[in-house]
Amino acid sequence: MRLRYLLTLGLLSACGGNPTGGDGEALLAEANDAIDGQAAYVEYCGGCHDSGVTLDGIVSSPILGDPASWQGRTETSADVLMQHAREGYRSMPGKAGQPDLDDETVNSAVQYMLSVTFPDGPPGQ
């Protein structure tokens, strides 16, 4: 669990957060956001991204923890990946087909996916 926490703080730092310079409450809030990202992934995203479901017969969804399945996507910025997750892209429905899902939850799920798949940060970013 401590390793996951440290990886989360590293990701948040890379995303512009300041986990080492803030107070304890800020650190706790950032850790809770990461936990929410994992819960959102499990609830809304895992059905496709655990197995690499092919929705349009051409492109498979990238698999959590499998960097090779993200080839061609990691050159895209995290902001664009989050936009695709929120708005939809190709056959992937926006917000995992849950239109009432808030943008922050979707963004947290994407950040979680990237942190698990690329613990040292996406290549080229």
Q: Is residue 37 in some structural domain?
A: yes
Q: Is residue 87 in some structural domain?
A: yes
Query: Across the chain, what does the average pLDDT equal?
Result: 79
Q: Is residue 125 in some structural domain?
A: no
Q: Is residue 122 in some structural domain?
A: no
At CB < 8 A and 24+ separation, what contacts does 41-48 make? 41/109, 41/112, 41/113, 44/95, 44/96, 44/98, 44/101, 44/105, 44/109, 45/96, 45/109, 45/113, 48/92
CATH number of 43's domain? 1.10.760.10
pTM: 0.70
Share of the chain above pLDDT 90, in %: 51
Q: Is residue 85 in some structural domain?
A: yes
Q: Is residue 123 in some structural domain?
A: no
| pLDDT, tens digit, 9 for 90 and up, residues 66-118 | 999 998 887 788 899 999 999 999 889 999 999 999 999 999 999 999 999 99
103-117 and 78-87 are packed helices; what angle lies between their axes, rounded to 10 degrees? 130
Domain of residue 68: give its range.
2-117
Q: Is residue 107 in some structural domain?
A: yes
The count of domains in the chain is 1
Q: Is residue 81 in some structural domain?
A: yes
| pLDDT, tens digit, 9 for 90 and up, residues 4-38 | 443 444 444 444 444 445 566 665 665 565 569 99
